[in-house]
Chains A and B, each alone.
Chain A
Amino acid sequence: MKNTICNLLLLSVVLIFCGVVIYVAILLSSIEIGITLLPLVLFLAITYGVNKRRRSKNHDV
Chain B
Amino acid sequence: MMFKVFIISVGIAFFIQIVHSILTKGVKFTLGFFGGGFLFGFIREFIYFSFLHDYNAPDMPIRLLNVPICIPIGWIFTFYLAYEFVNKLIEPKTAKDYKNFVIFAAFFSCCICIPIETAAMNMRWWLLYFYADGRIAPILLMVGWFYTSVVFFCIYFVVKKKLPIEQLWVAIFLLILVFVLELRLTVYFGLVGSALQIIGFWGMLKYNKEIALTLLVYYVIFIGYLVFLSISNGFFVTIIFIFIFIDILVKLRLRDEKYQLSIKE
Interface residues of A (CB under 8 A from B): 2, 5-6, 9-10, 12-14, 16-21, 23-25, 27-28, 30, 32-33, 36-37, 39-40, 42-44, 46-47, 50-51, 54
Contact = CB atoms under 8 A, between A and B. Distances in A.
Contacts of A27: 2
A2 B2 CA distance: 35
A17 B116 CA distance: 8
B123 interface: yes
Contacts of B219: none
Contacts of B122: 24, 28, 30, 33
Contacts of A14: 81
Interface stretch (B17-25, B29-37, B46-54, B222-230): B17-25
Secondary structure class of chain B's binding surface, majority of residues: helix
Contacts of A19: 9
Contact of A50 (B23, B89, B118, B135): B89
Contacts of B241: 39
30 contacts: A2-B23, A5-B23, A6-B23, A9-B16, A9-B19, A9-B23, A10-B84, A12-B13, A13-B20, A14-B81, A16-B13, A16-B16, A20-B5, A20-B9, A20-B116, A21-B119, A24-B2, A32-B118, A32-B234, A33-B135, A36-B118, A36-B119, A40-B112, A43-B108, A43-B111, A46-B248, A47-B85, A50-B252, A51-B89, A54-B91
A36 B115 contact: yes
B202 interface: no
B131 interface: no
Interface of B: 2, 5-6, 9, 12-13, 16-17, 19-20, 23-24, 77, 81, 84-86, 88-91, 107-108, 110-112, 114-116, 118-119, 122-123, 135-137, 234, 241, 244-245, 248-249, 252
